[in-house]
Amino acid sequence: MTKDIATPIRTKEIMKKYGFSFKKSLGQNFLIDPNILENIVSHAGLTKEDGAIEVGPGIGALTEHLARASKKVVSFEIDQRLLPILQDTLSPYDNIKVLHADILKADVATTIKEEFTDVEKVMVVANLPYYVTTPIILKLLTENLPIQGLVVMLQKEVADRIAAKPGSKTYGSLSIAIQYYTEASTVMVVPKTVFMPQPNVDSAVIKLMKRDTPAVQVIDEEFFFLVTRSSFAQRRKTILNNLTSQLPDGKAKKESILSALSAAEIDPTRRGESLSIPEFGALADALYPFFKSGSS
């Protein structure tokens, strides 16, 4: 078996060989612990019949573990300087394709269709750059891609918010946006000491398995998300105060908001963090006629 990329010595060797320096603007922190990488891959449950999508392969530390576990890996790398390095470090593997592309601009659906013609399932497995974690996850979930789920490493604080349950301090519109599409759970906490360079915060690996149908059926998804975001605009305010100040013409439609809260059986003095996703669904549907169908 080839020598692991993810050791401090090998990582330093590779960087020295190519004169590579980390770009802070791209959130580059390379993992230097093979056991953690193995653990991440095991949570993805990949077999030799499966495909893996990776975002930001760096010098290929996680990529090679994915190549060992799956049928094919497609990695999106935005930093052109890493392409020749990846060509070198991943040369022992013939089941990896590295695309020089920004995942946020890429047509991922077409890539899946073209690259994964003969796999059973596709999982996204990645050590995500901290500065674009949320946009990447939301893009991959909202584009209705044929993926089974994601196992991704991100800042622990963001992982806590994504997996949070109603009533907790970390529960908010991000928790709802992602749990609407997936079952979310934090599977491991990763100390900052296993990265080069060392970030300022600890990380966590979160597992997001796509639901067959969204967590709640609503009349209008976009409006549902507007209601959830509005409800958390100021955490200390009641749901009534947040909705009246945040929804379009909310102040003028305060009576309508009150009657929608009543119809959804939600006490107007509650705070957003106390509402479950089904409650937000009922509330959005009750508010919908007042804000979307032209009536007041």
**Residues in binding site for S-adenosyl-L-methionine:** 29, 31, 56, 77, 102, 127
d(CA 164, CA 183): 11
The DSSP bridge pattern shows strands 182-190 and 203-210 to be antiparallel
Mark the binding-site residues, compressed into ranges. Answer: 29, 31, 56, 77, 102, 127
d(CA 276, CA 168): 11
| Contacts of 63-69 spanning 24+ positions with Cβ under 8 A | 63/90, 63/96, 63/98, 64/2, 64/4, 64/5, 64/89, 64/90, 64/92, 64/93, 65/34, 65/37, 65/38, 65/40, 65/41, 66/41, 66/125, 67/93, 67/95, 67/96, 68/41, 68/93, 69/41, 69/44
d(CA 123, CA 130): 20
Angle in degrees, 0-180, between the axes of helices 254-263 and 239-246, rounded to the nearest 10: 130
The DSSP bridge pattern shows strands 195-196 and 30-31 to be antiparallel
